[in-house]
Amino acid sequence: MARYHIPNVAAQLGAPRAVLASGMSPAEAARGAPGAAGRAAQSQDASWIGKCLDGRYQIEQQLGAGGAGTVYRARHLGLNRAVAVKVLLRQHQLRQASRQRFEREAQALAQLSHPHVVAISDCGVADDVPFLVMELLEGEGLDARLKRGKPPVELALQLMRELLLGLGYVHERGLVHRDIKPGNLFLEQLPAGGVRLKLLDFGLAKLLEPGGERGLTMNGEVFGTPAYMPPEQITGEGIDARSDVYSAALVCFELFTGRRAYTGHEAELFRQHLVEPLPPLELTGKLAALEALLRRATDKNKQQRFGDARELLAAFDALELSTSRALPHAPTRAPTRAPAAPRATRPRKPQGGSALRAGALVICALALAAIVLAGGLIALLGGPDGHARRTLLERALSGTSAEPASAPGKQ
């Protein structure tokens, strides 16, 4: 996440002068990577390692750093449990706006409880340093996974659906994330195999309520990641759930193509977001239907997009592309390299209607056999020789023996 000062962007239509307030180079900003200032802060914040935060969290290892905070692996001494602790970067600790954003991330996460959103367990201030405590996730970021190439189709479909499930829940709770990108999406490795996507970093989350952003954004400043930033976030217009839809669709584009939709230095990225349509996905077969879906989700006019991630998810599900479906509040456990195995089903017990139909068929068969047999007897016992055949039949049934009577004309 970086901060930019963009004078009169709307009038220049994508030729803004972006002043990087975070010290990032243009290439680093496009990647969402920490710049020189961020790297310096990371080395300084390594001094936390070995210390006990708030008398409860023993800091063990640095896991990473973003634009506002450094994340450490720590151990809760009372519970003897591994956790992740995020500490506000030193250069931001004296800035009231930065502290407010950090506190707002804790408040936003405290409202959320969903399998595809990172869970927070504690927050506070120790030695005048704000911190928050989250579940420790084993796995890798989606950005690291994409560096190895696009995932298999079934995994890409799973991750798209899980992203929309988590983001849809966030929108349902009245929040906008405002910084959806691969670096803020984590692929948690599941004990039983497979991965589960989780949304991270709610430092820019905004409540969809009047005044929710008051005093936290200066005029002319834009916060976010240029490669995934919707046009209205660049121009400073109103941001809502449709802004997240735009960014999420760009992540999905990358999942299925293995490349970013828009590339270049920050000014070129802004121009493309403002005027360039989504590049072709070049998908074939049933997957080709995704192109129209993602084009609508990335329309430059947010009025033409899906209203929120839940609407986009409903349209995605209607395509019936995936062989596995995740429940809205249940983790998806699809394998990473092969389609999900079909679920075992119990043998069905015969229904009452089926038994009656089977019995009726047996009765009909018996009746037909009786009719055929009776017809044969009638044919046998009738006619000129019928009397002699009847006499023989009667004696056979009574158990008596006698010489058969000669047929007339045979004496």
pLDDT, tens digit, for every residue of 97-139? 777 777 777 777 888 899 999 998 898 888 888 898 999 999 9
The pLDDT score that the predictor gives to residue 332 is 38
pTM, whole model, 2 decimals? 0.68
- What residues have CB less than 8 Å from 400, skipping those under 6 apart? none
How many angstroms separate the CA atoms of 67 and 101, rounded?
A: 12
CB contact set of 135 (below 8 Å; sequence gap of 6+): 83, 84, 118, 119, 121
**What does DSSP assign to residue 214?**
T
Within the chain, all domains assigned CATH 1.10.510.10 are found at 1-33+137-339
CA-CA-CA-CA torsion for 77, 79, 84, 90, nearest 10 degrees?
Answer: -40
Using only C-alpha atoms, the chain has a radius of gyration, in whole angstroms, of 36
Start and end residues for every CATH 3.30.200.20 domain found in the chain = 36-136
Of 137, 199, 129, the residue nearest 164 (C-alpha): 199
**pLDDT at position 376, please?**
52
Could you tell me the strand order of the sheet in which 2-5 lies?
Answer: 19-20, 2-5, 221-224
Tokens for 180, please give them: 């959806």
CATH fold group of domain 36-136? Phosphorylase Kinase; domain 1 (3.30.200)
Read off the amino acid at residue 6.
I
Q: Cα–chain-centroid distance for residue 154? A: 12
Residues facing residue 86 across a β-bridge: 71, 132
Amino acid identity, residue 194?
G
Residue 194 to residue 293: CA distance in whole angstroms: 27
Among residues 341, 322, 340, 327, the alpha carbon closest in space to that of 153 is found at 322
Residue 331 tokens, joined = 């983790």
Q: Which parts of the chain register pLDDT below 70?
A: 1-45, 67, 91, 93-94, 204, 207-223, 322-411
Longest dimension (CA), the chain: 136
Angle, helices 386-398/352-381, rounded to nearest 10 degrees: 120
d(CA 338, CA 324): 11
Residue 20, φ and ψ in degrees, nearest 5 = -80, 110
pLDDT, residue 406, reads 45
Residues annotated as catalytic (active site), given as ranges: 179
Closest listed residue to residue 146, CA positions, set 42, 297, 250, 287 = 250
Residue 169: other Cβ atoms inside 10 A: 21
Q: How far apart are CA 219 and CA 68, in angstroms?
A: 20
Structure tokens that stand for 226 in this block: 């240029």
Q: Considering only the top CATH level, what class is 1-33+137-339? A: mainly alpha
Strand 69-76: give its sheet, edge to edge. 52-53, 57-65, 69-76, 81-88, 129-135, 120-126
CB–CB of 278/298 below 8 Å? yes
